[in-house]
């Protein structure tokens, strides 16, 4: 279930909420950009995921919608990184018509480090190819704040 950062559930379908939110913000004169990202953490046999839709108001801060979930699947690191990307792409694909219609820039953020000295780098090329093949703008660490900062705090 999608929620606001304060924990209150979104009362309507995600597509309706996102469209109404963008229209409201644009009506207030705000230029909006959306960044979607997912992060995960393993706790014993459970992997916790958090996916965020971050709405950035140009020069006026931002806010986000959040969805958390759990899995008991035992993931390799590469598989978990690609699963995070797949969750973000699923949301981006579901909402991209709205973003196109309302002329809102969209980025998909991957919690994967571009520095080969970090373990998550093992999935960088696959993640980048996956996101870009779907037609989305790709961002990785250190520029992937939706996944590496926003979602990270909610896992």
Q: Looking at residue 131, what is its pLDDT?
A: 95
Q: Looking at residue 138, what is its pLDDT?
A: 95
Q: Which of these CATH numbers, 1.10.10, 3.30.420, 1.10.3470, 3.40.50, describes 3-154?
A: 3.30.420
**Running along the chain, 155 residues long, what does each successive block of 10 average in pLDDT?**
96 98 98 98 96 97 98 93 97 98 98 92 93 95 94 91
Q: Looking at residue 116, what is its pLDDT?
A: 92
Q: Looking at residue 115, what is its pLDDT?
A: 92
Q: Looking at residue 100, what is its pLDDT?
A: 97
Cβ atoms of residues 1 and 16 within 8 Å: no
Structural domain spans, the chain: 3-154
Q: Looking at residue 105, what is its pLDDT?
A: 97
């Amino acid at each position: 279930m999608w929620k606001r950062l304060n924990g209150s559930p979104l009362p309507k379908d995600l597509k309706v909420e996102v469209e109404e939110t963008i229209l409201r913000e644009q009506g207030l004169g705000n230029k909006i950009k959306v960044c979607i990202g997912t992060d995960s953490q393993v706790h014993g046999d459970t992997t916790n995921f958090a996916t965020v839709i971050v709405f950035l108001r140009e020069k006026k801060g931002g806010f986000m919608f959040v969805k958390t979930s759990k899995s008991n699947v035992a993931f390799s690191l590469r598989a978990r990184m690609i699963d995070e990307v797949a969750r973000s792409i699923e949301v981006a694909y579901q909402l991209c018509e709205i973003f196109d219609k309302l002329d809102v820039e969209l980025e998909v953020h991957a919690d994967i480090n571009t520095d080969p000295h970090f373990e998550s780098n093992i999935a960088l090329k696959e993640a980048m190819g996956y996101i870009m093949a779907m037609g989305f703008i790709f961002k990785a660490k250190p520029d992937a704040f939706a996944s590496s900062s926003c979602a990270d705090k909610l896992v």
